[in-house]
A and B are shown apart, each in its own frame.
Chain A
Amino acid sequence: MNPEVRDESGIGLDVDENVNQFLTFMLAGEEYGVDILRVQEIKGWESATEIPNTPDYIQGVMNLRGTIVPIVDLRSRFELERIDYSNTTVVIVLKIKTDDSEKTIGFVVDAVSDVYNVSEEQLKPSPDFGSGVSTEFVKGLATVDEKMLILLDIDHLIDADIDINQSAMTH
């Protein structure tokens, strides 16, 4: 839950070439992890401005120090049951890489959890979930401290929809 956690992790923990650090968060009882190097900041939920005629999981846009950042409701993106936002609801702002640019996008999650070191060996390919999170967003699974983490491939989290080539100019 501590937004400073990213800074500490870089200094305090051993950094091995084979070891990546993941920030984890909770979503409908599961623990998900994202590459900590992609985390730009973690902030509390503030209301976003709706963008008309966009998919439901686009919560709207927020002002992040002068730039306009879209906010994605991750529960909704994963087709999980939506819940009302509370005071623990946080927005994790991530840097997403597309083919030719970098975008900053906020993801609404239930709560931030922890930071873990995950080595290459700990990373297992994900089985087909059957339902829930589509495997295309998942980089793999890892078991750390007897907990199972679902590590997300965040670049693929958006290319299904937020696609610059899919310009609205083509009419």
Chain B
Amino acid sequence: MATILTVDDSASMRQMVNFTLKGAGYEVIEAVDGVDALSKAKGTNPDAVLTDVNMPNMDGITLIQELRKLPSYRHTPMLMLTTESSGDMKSKGRTAGATGWLVKPFNPEQLLATIKKVIA
């Protein structure tokens, strides 16, 4: 089954996202911020990355930028979870190499639908 690296500084969001994904049969690697995610990403090769944008230490945009520099992450789908629906944030995300985004708030069904978009 596919593995997803999920990154969020909010414990409740993390809990919901991870529970939903695991319930749908995905393997989940959890990280609490960009720095944590980057260090966890280096040892693994997930099928997708799902990251919050606004986080302490390293934000989601920077994380995506950094991940794209790693050879094994050049084509990995990376989704941003963001409450900011402005075009500005999206274009920043795209420039950094984000595949797409999911606007908060979302419910578990929407989350799974979005994941299905990027994972066969």
Check A-B contact in the complex, CB < 8 A.
no
Q: List residues of chain A with CB under 8 Å of any chain B CB.
A: none
